[in-house]
A and B are shown apart, each in its own frame.
Chain A
Amino acid sequence: MIDFLTKIMPNVVENWSGDNGILLGIGQTLYMTFWTTLIGGILGLILGIALVVTEKKGILANAVVYSILDKIVNIFRSIPFVILLAVAFPLTQLLVHTTIGPKGALVPLILGSAPFYARQVQNTLVQVDSGVIESAEALGYGPWTIVFSVYLREGLPDLIRTSVLTIISIIGLTAMAGAVGAGGLGYIAISKGYQRYQNDIIWVCTLLILVIVFIVQGLGDLWARKVDHS
């Protein structure tokens, strides 16, 4: 078996484990994706909810807060990610005391994905039927109950779908972060596959990323379908 694999993709077998190996790359990609999704997801969710409730017809309408949040989101969404990686260096150094490796990539990854996710959350939650919101107000519920029991519950199926979309785009960003020394499958594909003409590594890394994407997509779809009763 090993002989066969060595024959069709010698470089992959050689670089499978050990320092800077593909196995480590998978771990690093998963590490970056997980923490970015978790922290960026929470930040994005809070920001998205804040946008929905403070907008003109929101349950806590506040034009000043809305326009500030709206501008922050727009600015961060406008900075190309590769540039954000560089721009975020000082902040990264301050927060995680390193600018390289998967840990160093987390700060720019979160800065890049949270605003993106916030906008997705906002677009999803504004579609929750305003009549349902009104009926919850008529039942004597305050903003907290309405956010958690109505917005997040009614919006859940679409929220799951947009979250999947966001996670997939985060996986894409981790590969890009690899270009500036963050490690992960993207880094391996470029530094070992592309730059050293080891095509089998490029293919395997691509395949592995696709597998991660498909698993995320599949689980997301399954969950969304389960909670969707409309």
Chain B
Amino acid sequence: MFSKADNSAAWAVGLALVMFFIGGLLTTVVPPLVDKSWGRPAPGLKPYTEIQLKGRAIYVREGCWYCHTQQTRTLVSDTKRSGWRGVDSPISTPDEFVYDKPHMFGTKRTGPDLSRVGGKYDTQWHRTHFRNPRDLVPGSVMPPFPWIVNDPVEFSSLVAYIQTLGRAKDWRPDKDYEK
């Protein structure tokens, strides 16, 4: 069968596509059909508001996702690092990300994971931090973002988005979220 592809371009092409499509279809089209949790929103998950979407677009535009992941993995250390005041964070589940488009899971953690950062720091903290991260976190290598802080609409939208992260699960016992 494979030897025929040596002399016939049609055979080579047909066979190469068949081989490719077996795995291609089984790993892209089938999984969401089998695993319904990929598309069903978590009970506490709300669609983004207009201002939060605007903030999310800034997060995408500035490439924040190249250095910050948004996933608390099934590793003990992840649940501790995403935790808050001694309480471990729940692991991230597919139903928390149903409204995320584009998804912001990320592949690289030059900075800390942000999957549970919502409600941890207040607006004033973010203002100072975006202006110059090293003023609050000495040793940080995050770039400064003065053009965002200097634009009140952009800044408040971005903070509004950040405060939503990880809030689909209400896991902090005394509900000490920033209001």
- A and B part of one assembly: no
